[in-house]
Amino acid sequence: MPARRRWFTNTPGSPGPEKKASLPWHEVLITAFVKACGYSATGFVLLIFYFLLREGLPALEETSLSNLFSLRWYPIEEYFGITPLITGSLMVTLGAMIVAVPFGVGTAVFMAEVAPRWPRGLLKPLVEVLGGLPSVLLGFLGILILTPYLRTALNLPTGLTALAGSILLGGIAIPTIVSISEDALDAVPQSYREGALALGATRWQTIWRVTLPAARSGVLTAIMLGLGRAIGETMTVMMVTGNAPVLATSFPALFKPVRTMTATIAAEMGEVAKGSTHYHVLFFIGIVLFVMSFVVNIVASSMVFQSKKRTERILS
């Protein structure tokens, strides 16, 4: 007769199951340090935003909204219109993305899908080096080479235009887009490509219809990070865009001097009197820049989240 299986239940007086062993003290310290680093990142962002609000919001009390969003920036005569600065920043940034996105994504596709292994091993470090070049060096090269060429080639009065700033900002954003997009494409499983080729797709159809959609979230993240890099760039645009605070709302303005928000802060913050209206308006421009960067990150996060949800629905 088989032995009867005995089941034991824990009673209040009986010893419970074996407790989980506690972590060693050094692992506890490492865990606490990692958590502190994660929380500090959020804390630093909140502190920066609080400082911007503290120094920039008084501008709303010291000047009217009609003056603050007017079409003229001339602080000496109490004209604090930031609309030309906003349009100048948007025009230069959009022009930079028009340059950077095709070249950046195309280079990433070439490195991940087309190029053999040996040139890829050379191109990857080269792209990383280009991403680390100082922006002031690129601005210096733009003044010496790019702006004279644009002036003579396009028959312009001056080469210090929004077009020059867009080209240089596009060059600055390309390494970021290439590096992250190439990593996203390289993370796509090889079985996806083999399955598409087995079904009769060509190599280009596999790249366009299978590999790129599978890496969409990473490519979109790369584009948004490149956009954030272009929005926050200072020295390059200050050196090659002409620094003329004029309204830029039409295509011909691309071939004229403009002024960006970052260049305005960098050029005038060192000379302004602390606590003056001009001082607070410059910090208000910083708030506008912060909000723009935050919106870009929110849009990028939402696009990546929607892409992941769509992929999960397809797989399910």
Token pair for residue 246? Answer: 């004029």
Per-residue pLDDT, 224: 85
Token pair for residue 292? Answer: 């723009």
Spatial contact of 180 and 218, defined as CB atoms under 8 Å apart? yes
Task: Enumerate domains of the chain plus CATH numbers.
Answer: 80-274+284-315 (1.10.3720.10)
Spatial contact of 149 and 76, defined as CB atoms under 8 Å apart? no
| Alpha-carbon separation of residue 274 from 82, 210, 216, 277, 279 (angstroms) | 19, 56, 46, 9, 6
Question: What does the pLDDT profile of the chain (316 residues) look like in tens digits?
Answer: 444 544 444 455 544 444 445 778 888 888 889 988 888 988 998 998 899 999 999 998 888 888 888 888 988 888 999 999 999 999 999 999 999 999 999 999 998 888 887 777 788 888 888 888 888 888 899 999 999 999 999 998 988 999 999 999 998 899 989 988 988 888 888 888 888 888 888 888 898 888 988 888 888 888 888 888 888 888 888 899 988 888 888 888 889 999 999 999 988 888 888 888 999 999 999 999 988 888 887 877 776 676 666 655 555 5
Sign, CA torsion 137/139/143/145: positive
Nearest to 223 by CA among 106, 91, 90: 106
Contacts of 52 (CB under 8 A, 6+ apart): 283, 286, 287, 290
Per-residue pLDDT, 98: 92
Nearest to 250 by CA among 122, 87, 117, 49: 87
DSSP H or E segment with residue 73 = strand 73-74
Per-residue pLDDT, 311: 58
User: Maximum CA pair distance of the chain?
Assistant: 106
CB atoms within 10 A of CB 59: 22
Q: What is the pTM of this model?
A: 0.80
Distance CA(181)–CA(170), nearest Å, equals 16
Per-residue pLDDT, 7: 44
